[in-house]
Amino acid sequence: MSESIKRAMKISQLAKVTNVASKTIRYYEDIGLLPTAYRNDNGYREYSASDVERLVFIRRCRELKIPLEQIKTLIAVQLDQKSSCQEVDTLIEQQLDKVRKTIAELTLLEQTLHTLATSCPNDRVGDCQILKNLQQEKIS
């Protein structure tokens, strides 16, 4: 009775231990990211330890901004013991590339916005250098 091993828990329990909203858990089941949950007599979903593991895995992937579709792939690879983890490598590399590209883009953007933000010493809209700059094709 004093055991902390939960053999079955309801959705809000799972939500709490994994830090994923109940709403999101149902959504993941809808799109097939989580297996169809077992239902008890009253129709409530019931979860076990393996669901916790799976969901923590998904949450970690989401923290890394890995799209749900790719998480599906990762789970499939994971379940297929005879597959190589080359696919996992590649996927993570691609994700890293994407993040780096986005950082590069945003860094340029930051420059432009900074230039823009410091370009207007005026007070009246008619003279606003920011607005004038935005009217040009490129910011000089």
SS3 38: strand
**Angle (deg, nearest 10), helices 22-30 and 49-63:** 90
Q: Which does 68 bind (CB under 5 to 8 A by kind): a second copy, DNA, none?
A: DNA
Our finding on whether 16 is near a second copy (CB under 8 A) is no
**Joined tokens for residue 119:** 């370009």
Our finding on whether 7 is near DNA (CB under 7 A) is no
Residues 13-72 that bind DNA (CB under 7 A): 13, 21-24, 26-27, 37, 41-45, 62, 67-69
Q: Interior CA angle at 103 toward 113 and 98, to 5°?
A: 140
Applying CB under 8 A, among 8, 60, 67, 73 the residue interacting with a second copy is 60
Our finding on whether 2 is near a second copy (CB under 8 A) is no
Closest by CA to 22, choosing from 34, 14, 32, 30, is 14
Residues of this chain that interact with DNA (CB under 7 A) are: 10-13, 21-24, 26-27, 37, 41-45, 62, 67-69
